[in-house]
Amino acid sequence: MAERDYIDDVTADDLTVDGSSVDTSLGAQQVALPSAEGSEGAVALDLDRVIHERVRLGIVSALAVNGTLSFGDLKAILGLTDGNLAAHARRLEEAGYLFCTKTGDGRAPRTDYALTEKGRRELQAYLDHMEALIRWMRPDLERAAL
C-alpha cells in the first residue's frame, strides 16, 4: 500500500469543493495527505459522520434526487420505522442539512423534508471525497491483485 503523510494543520479555509468552502465543524476532520502516484496532493478528510451513517445518507440522497418528500414517502422509500426516520431527520435538521415543513392536511398533519443549500453542498463534498478515496485506493488494489 502507498505510504501516507499525516497532517494536522489544515483548516477549513484551505478546503474547497467547486469553489465553496467545506464545513468541517460537524464531523469532517483533516487526517491524511495521500502521497500515492496521481493523487495530485489532494487532502483526504475524515468522512462526514453526519452524512456517512447509512440511514442519513439514504435520506439526503433521496431528497437530492426528489427535491421534497413527505415523511411517509421517505419512510416507504427507505423502509424505516417512524421513530428511526424521525431521529435521523432531526439530526440532519440540527446540522442544517435539511429543513422540514409541517402543515395541516385535513385532520392529519403533514411533514415535508427538503435539503438546504448547505445539505446539497455537504452531500456533494461527501461524494467528491468518496470518489477521491476510490481513485486513490484503486492502484493499490490493482497492484495487490497481481
Hey, what amino acid is at 14?
Answer: D
Split at pLDDT 50, 70, 90, the class of 28 is: very low
109-134 residue pLDDT tens: 899 999 999 999 999 999 998 888 88
pLDDT of 10 > 80? The answer is: no
- Say if CB 22 and CB 125 are below 8 A apart: yes
Tell the CATH topology of 50-117.
Arc Repressor Mutant, subunit A (1.10.10)
Neighbour-count burial for 35-59, b at 16+ CB within 10 Å, e otherwise:
ebeebeebbbbebbebbebebbbbb
- pLDDT at residue 121, as a whole number: 95
The residues spanned by each domain of the chain are 4-48+124-145, 50-117
- Say if CB 36 and CB 140 are below 8 A apart: yes
- pLDDT at residue 57, as a whole number: 96
The pTM score is: 0.66
Task: Write the DSSP assignment of the chain as a string of letters.
Answer: ---EEE-----GGG-EETTEEP--TTS--EEEEE-STT-TTPPEEPP-HHHHSHHHHHHHHHHHHHSEEEHHHHHHHHT--HHHHHHHHHHHHHTTSEEEEEEEETTEEEEEEEE-HHHHHHHHHHHHHHHHHHHHHHHHHHHHH-
43-95 residue pLDDT tens: 455 778 899 999 999 999 999 999 999 999 999 999 999 999 999 999 999 99
Hey, what amino acid is at 133?
Answer: L
- Cα 49 → chain centroid: 8
- Say if CB 98 and CB 118 are below 8 A apart: no
